Amino acid sequence: MSQELQLEIEELSVQFKTDSGVLEALRPISFSLAEAEILGVVGESGSGKSITNLALMGLLPDNALIHAKKVNFNKTSLNLNSQKELRKIRGSQISMIFQDPMTALNPSLTVGYQMIETLRCHFDISKIAAEHRAISLLERVGISNAMTHLKSYSFELSGGMSQRVMIAMAISCHPKLLIADEPTTALDVTIQKQILDLLLDLQKENRMSMIFVSHDLALVKKYSQRIQVMYAGAIVESGNTVDVIKQPRHPYTFGLLKARPSAHEGLVKEHLYAIPGVVPSLKERPTGCQFHPRCFRSTELCKKQDPELRANLENTAQKFACHHPLEIS
Amino acid sequence: MKEFFYEIWIDIRKNKAAFAGLILILIFLFLAVFAPLLSPFFPDQVIDGALRLPPNSHFQNYYFVFGTDDIGRDLFTRLLYGSRVSLLVGLSVVLLAASLGTFLGLVSGYFSGWTDRIVSRTMDFIMALPSVLFAIVIVAVLGPGLINAIVAVSIVALPNFVRLIRAQVLAEKSKPYVQAAQLYGASHFRILFKEILPNCMAPLIVQGSLGFSDGVLNCAALGFLGLGAQAPTPEWGTMLSDARSFLETSPWMVNLPGLCILLVVLSFNLLGDGLRDALDPRLKNRA
Amino acid sequence: MSLLKVTNLKKSYITKNLFGPQREQKILKGISFELSENQILGIVGESGCGKSTLAKVLTRLEPFSGGEITFTGKDLKSFSPKEFPYQIQMVFQDPYQSLNPRKKAWEIIADPILVTENISRLEAKQRALQMMKKVGLLAETCERYPHQFSGGQRQRLGIARALMLRPKLLILDEPVSALDVSIQAQVLNLLLDLQKEFQLSMIFISHDLSVVKHISDRTLVLYFGEIVEMGPSREIFERPQHSYTRKLLESAP
C-alpha cells in the first residue's frame, strides 16, 4: 500500500511564554498521515493532543512559540507561524470539528445563515446556490427536514444535531484533512455511534484524511487505521491500530487499554487496572522519561534518560519510546 | 482569602494604569491623614488682607503655594483638609451602600419570590430617576448637610450593589456546591454568608472601587449645589461653588479643587478597572 | 430488608408560558425499584431520561409529584432536616463546580460535621484529615484550594465530603463522566473499596454502560422517564431483553 502522504510533520514543538518562564507544551514530535487515512490520537488531558491540532489550524494563543523543521501539507511546505498561509487552507483544505458543538455555533445566527456564509466565503456562488448546497449537505449528514432546520438556531438543536451541523459545515469545502477533536465526548453513546459512523462514511466517500482525537482508546481502536498515543507533550507509541491494541509495548498504552472498562467483556464489579497518579502539569515535568513516576516498570535509567521513539525490530510500523518495553507474548 | 488578595496585588502591579491609580490614592490618603502636620495654616484661618492671591505668592511673612481664596484663607491648607472630607465621604458611601446592598442582594437573589420582587422593584424605582436629581430630593427632605448628603448618595448608589450581588447569587446558588451544603443540612444563613458571599467578593471589590469615585463625585455635586457640606467646611465641591463667581478673575480658586476631584475620581476609576481585569475570569486566562 | 423502596414515583414540571396554556412536562413517569443494603444500583440512561431528576428527588433537593419513597422503612418526607443528612448524601458530576472555590480542602470536607455536630474546628480538621487519607488524598494537601487539585482529586474531595456524615446511601450522579479514562479507573476502584469499608449502599448514575457494569450489582435502564429494564447487572449485560438496552450495548465501544 504505497499511498501519497497528505501531511508530513517533522519536529514540531510548541512552547508557551508565561509569567513563570517558557513552558514546553509539545516536545518535538514527528508524524505523517497518508491520503484517506484515519489517524487516532489518544492521551489524557494535558498530553498535548489538542495543541498539535491547534498549531496545525493556527488557532493557538499569541503567547505560543511554534517551531517546526518541516511541515508538508498536500506536498507543499507550510509555515505554521504564518497566519496568512494558514488562513488560505483553513476551512477549505483543513477543517476541524470541536468537542462542544453547542458553543462552536453562533447562538444568535441561524444555522442556515452560518452555513451559507461559510459556503459563499470559499466558493463564488450565489445565495440561492449556496442554500441548495447547504440543504443537500444537511441531508447528507442525516438531518431530515433540512429546509426547516436551516432556519433554526443552535440552541434549538440537540447536541447530536448541532454536531451534525458542524460536520456538514466542516465538509462543505471538501477538505483534504479533517481534524475531529473529541467530537463525541459531550454526546450520549447512541448518538456517539451515529456520529462516528457518519464521519467514517464521509471520510471514505470523500477520501479525506482524518485525525481523530480522543481520550478513549476503545473508540479510537474502532475508528482508526493508525494510532498515536501521546503523553506529556510527546508521542510514546505509534503504529497500526491492530498491532498497538493487540500488543502494546509502552506501559502507558497498556495502562490506558486496561483502565477502560468494557461493556462487553470483563466481570461485573471488578477492580479495574488504574494507572496511578496524574499527568504532570507543564510546570512540574519530571526528568528522564516523562511517564516514569507513574510507571510500574520504571528503573533508575528512566529517571535519567528520556527514551527516544524507536522502531520495533519485527514490526517497523510500530514505534515506542520506552527503555523497558513490554515483551511480545 | 490571603492568597486571593495576593493574586489581586500581583495583577494590579502588572497593570500600569491601575498601579498609577493606586499610587495616587495612597498619596491622597497620606495627605489626608497627615493634613494637620503638612498644612501651614488652619483651614478656617483668615489672613487679613491676603485676598485672592494667586499661587506661588508672598504676603507679609507668609508664603501661599496655591494662593488664597476670596476671604483670605490658604487654598493649599483647605485642599488638604478637603481630601480628608472627600475620602471620608467616599468611604462612608461605599461602606453604607455596599453593606446594605450586599445584604439586600444576597437575600433577594437567594430567596426568590416576594422578597426578591419587593427589593428588585424598589431598586428599579431608584434607578429610574436621574441619580443626582434623586439625591437632591432626598437631601431636600432630610435637610442639607454633609451627613445627609452621604445618606442620599448612598441610597442612589445602592441599586448598583444590589443588582450586582443578586446576579452573582443567582449564578452561584444553582451550582452543586450549594446543593451539597443543603444536603448536609447547612442553614440558609450559613449557605448565604459562608458559601455564597465569598464567591461574590470579586465583583464587590470592583464595584466598591468604582462606587467610591461615584460617591466622591456625587457628594461634590451636592456640595456645589449648596446641599452637601456647608461653609466653612473645606469640601471640594463647596469650595468650587463658592469660587464660581471668581472664575474669570481668580481661576485657580476653581481649577485647583476641580483638579483634586478629577484626580481622586480618576484614580479610583483606574484602580476599579484594573481590579475588574484582575478579577473577571472572562478577561483573564489563568493558565 | 430493602433500604430504599420507590413506588410509582412521578415527577413533572409545569412550565408556564406567558401566552398559551400551561404545559406539564413529565420527567419521571411512575417508576418503582428497590435497593437493599450494601448494594450498588446502577442507573443508565441518556441525557433527558430523568436520571438526574431522580437523584434530586431522592436527596430531597426537589419535591416529587406522585408516588411513594420509603427509606429504612420510613417515609422519606418524614425525616427531620436534622436526621436526613445522615441518611442520604450525594456526589456530583462536575468536579469543578461542586466544590466551593474559596474554601480550603479540609474546610470543604469538615463542613458537614461542623454544621451538624457541636465540635471544635480543630477536631473537625482532624477528622477531615482522616477522611482525606481514606479517599487517597495526601494530608499535606489539606490547606490547598480546589483549583490546585486535578479533576480526579477533586472528585475524591467530593466523595470525602459526602462520606463525612457516614450516610446509609450514597448517590453518585455521573461521578466519573468528566474524568480521563485512567483517572476514571482510579475513582471507580476507590468507590468499590469505600463501599466495603463503610458498608455503603450506592446509586450510581451514568450514561456510560461500561462504567455501570463494572461497579453495580444491579442495573436499571431508564428511557424517557420509564424503567425499560432492571435486574442483576450480569444478566442485563449478557442477556439484554429490551431493544433499547440492546441498542445501548451495541453503541458502546
CB contact under 8 A, B186 and C111: yes
CA distance C225 to chain A (A): 16
Task: Name every chain A residue with its beta carbon within 8 A of the beta carbon of B285.
Answer: 61
Q: Does C148 touch chain B (CB under 8 A)?
A: no
- pTM of this structure: 0.86
pLDDT at position A217 is 86
Instruction: Give all chains having 3 or more CB-to-CB distances under 8 Å with chain C.
Output: A, B
The partner residue sitting opposite C90, judged by closest CB among B183, B186, B190, is: B183
Q: Does A40 touch chain C (CB under 8 A)?
A: no
Reported as a single tens digit per residue, the pLDDT across B53-105 is 888 888 888 888 898 888 889 999 999 999 999 999 999 999 999 999 999 99
Q: Are A146 and A135 in contact (CB under 8 A)?
A: yes
Reported as a single tens digit per residue, the pLDDT across C92-127 is 988 889 999 889 999 999 999 999 999 999 999 999
CA distance C177 to chain A (A): 9
Q: Please tell me what DSSP assigns to residue C63.
A: -
Q: Does C99 touch chain B (CB under 8 A)?
A: yes
pLDDT at position C18 is 67
Residue of B nearest to A283 (CA): B287
Q: Does A275 touch chain C (CB under 8 A)?
A: yes
Chain C residues 31-90 within an 8 A CB cutoff of chain B: 59, 61, 81-82, 84-85, 88-90
Q: Does A113 touch chain B (CB under 8 A)?
A: no
Task: Name every chain C residue with its beta carbon within 8 A of the beta carbon of A217.
Answer: 181
C96-99: list long-range contacts, CB under 8 Å, 24+ apart: C96/C146, C96/C151, C96/C154, C96/C178, C97/B175, C97/B176, C97/B177, C98/B175, C98/B176, C98/B177, C98/B180, C98/C154, C98/C158, C99/B177, C99/C146, C99/C154, C99/C157, C99/C158
Of C207 and C19, more confident: C207
Q: Does C39 touch chain A (CB under 8 A)?
A: no
CB contact under 8 A, C115 and B185: yes
Instruction: Give all chains having 3 or more CB-to-CB distances under 8 Å with chain B.
Output: A, C
Interface contacts A/B by beta carbons within 8 Å: 3
Residue of C nearest to B195 (CA): C100
pLDDT at residue C238 greater than cutoff 70? yes
CA dist C88 → C31, C110, C204 (Å): 19, 17, 13
Q: Are A321 and A237 in contact (CB under 8 A)?
A: yes
C-alpha span between B233 and A181 (Å, rounded) = 68
How many other C-beta atoms can be found within 10 angstroms of the C-beta atom of residue C133?
Answer: 11
Instruction: Find the mean pLDDT for residues C26-53.
Output: 92
Mutate to test the interface with A, among C180, C217, C223, C236 (most CBs of A within 10 A): C180
Task: Name every chain A residue with its beta carbon within 8 A of the beta carbon of C211.
Answer: 261
Interacting residues of C73 by C-beta distance below 8 A, sequence separation 6+: C1
CB contact under 8 A, A18 and B287: yes
Q: Does A22 touch chain C (CB under 8 A)?
A: no
Q: Does C239 touch chain A (CB under 8 A)?
A: no
pLDDT at residue C203 greater than cutoff 90? yes
C-alpha span between A201 and A234 (Å, rounded) = 30
CB contact under 8 A, B185 and C89: no
pLDDT at position A184 is 86
pLDDT at position B178 is 95
Q: How far apart are the first and last CA of chain C?
A: 37
C-alpha span between C135 and C190 (Å, rounded) = 7
CA dist B202 → A231, B120, B191 (Å): 37, 22, 18
Task: Name every chain C residue with its beta carbon within 8 A of the beta carbon of A215.
Answer: 180-181
Predicted confidence band of residue C17 (pLDDT cuts 50, 70, 90): low
- Identity at A262, one-letter amino acid code: S
C-alpha span between B271 and B23 (Å, rounded) = 10
Task: Name every chain C residue with its beta carbon within 8 A of the beta carbon of B185.
Answer: 81-82, 84-85, 112, 115-116
C-alpha span between A194 and A159 (Å, rounded) = 12
Q: Are A210 and A177 in contact (CB under 8 A)?
A: yes
CA distance A249 to chain B (A): 33
Q: What is the Cα A70 distance to its own chain's centre?
A: 20
Q: Does C205 touch chain B (CB under 8 A)?
A: no
pLDDT at position B1 is 67
CB contact under 8 A, C97 and B1: no
Q: Are C152 and A259 in contact (CB under 8 A)?
A: no
Q: Does C250 touch chain A (CB under 8 A)?
A: yes
- Grid coordinates of A296: 510500574
C-alpha span between B203 and B201 (Å, rounded) = 6
Mutate to test the interface with C, among A102, A268, A273 (most CBs of C within 10 A): A268
A288 Rama class: left (phi>0) / alpha (psi -120 to 50) / beta:
left
Residue of A nearest to B287 (CA): A18
| Residue-by-residue pLDDT tens, chain B, 287 positions | 677 788 888 888 888 999 999 999 999 999 999 999 988 888 888 888 888 888 888 888 888 889 888 888 999 999 999 999 999 999 999 999 999 999 999 999 999 889 999 999 999 999 999 988 999 999 999 998 899 999 999 999 999 999 999 999 999 998 999 999 999 999 999 999 999 999 998 889 889 998 999 999 998 899 888 888 887 888 898 888 888 888 888 888 889 999 999 999 999 999 998 888 887 655 544 43
The partner residue sitting opposite C111, judged by closest CB among B1, B184, B199, is: B184
Task: Name every chain C residue with its beta carbon within 8 A of the beta carbon of B177.
Answer: 97-100
CA distance A25 to chain B (A): 12
Q: Please tell me what DSSP assigns to residue C84.
A: G
The partner residue sitting opposite C150, judged by closest CB among A255, A256, A278, is: A278
Pick the closest to residue B273 from B216, B203, B210, B208 (CA basis): B210
Q: Please tell me what DSSP assigns to residue B250.
A: -
Residues of chain A predicted below pLDDT 50: 1-2
CB contact under 8 A, C100 and B185: no
Q: Does C248 touch chain A (CB under 8 A)?
A: yes
Tell me the average pLDDT of chain C.
Answer: 91
Place of cell 471520510: A203
C-alpha span between C157 and C136 (Å, rounded) = 9
C-alpha span between A179 and A41 (Å, rounded) = 10
**Adjacent-strand bridge partners of A24:** A15
CB contact under 8 A, A189 and C213: no
Query: Helix/strand/coil (H, E, C) string of chain A?
Result: CCCCEEEEEEEEEEEEEECCEEEEEEEEEEEEEECCCEEEEECCCCCCHHHHHHHHHCCCCCCEEEECCEEEECCEECCCCCHHHHHHHECCCEEEECCCHHHHCCCCCEHHHHHHHHHHHHCCCCHHHHHHHHHHHHHHCCCCCHHHHHCCEHHHCCHHHHHHHHHHHHHCCCCCEEEEECCCCCCCHHHHHHHHHHHHHHHHHHCCEEEEEECCHHHHHHHCCEEEEEECCEEEEEEEHHHHHHCCCCHHHHHHHHHCCCCCCCCCCCCCCCCCCCCCCHHHCCCCCCCHHHCCCCCHHHHHCCCCCEECCCCCCCEECCCCCCCCC
Q: Does A79 touch chain B (CB under 8 A)?
A: no
pLDDT at residue C207 greater than cutoff 60? yes
C237 Rama class: left (phi>0) / alpha (psi -120 to 50) / beta:
alpha
Q: Does C80 touch chain A (CB under 8 A)?
A: no
CB contact under 8 A, C251 and A192: yes
pLDDT at position B281 is 57
C-alpha span between C115 and B9 (Å, rounded) = 34
- Identity at A22, one-letter amino acid code: V
pLDDT at residue C21 greater than cutoff 90? no
Query: Helix/strand/coil (H, E, C) string of C100-164?
Result: CCCCCHHHHHHHHHHHHCCCCHHHHHHHHHHHHHHCCCCHHHHHCCHHHCCHHHHHHHHHHHHHC
pLDDT at position B287 is 34
Task: Name every chain A residue with its beta carbon within 8 A of the beta carbon of B287.
Answer: 16, 18
Q: Does A24 touch chain B (CB under 8 A)?
A: no
CA distance C247 to chain B (A): 32
CB contact under 8 A, A189 and C185: no
Q: Does C213 touch chain A (CB under 8 A)?
A: yes
How many other C-beta atoms can be found within 10 angstroms of the C-beta atom of residue A32?
Answer: 14
Residue of C nearest to B199 (CA): C102
Four-residue CA torsion sign, B119, B122, B128, B130: negative
C-alpha span between A255 and A272 (Å, rounded) = 10
- Grid coordinates of A81: 507561524
Mutate to test the interface with C, among B168, B169, B177, B285 (most CBs of C within 10 A): B177
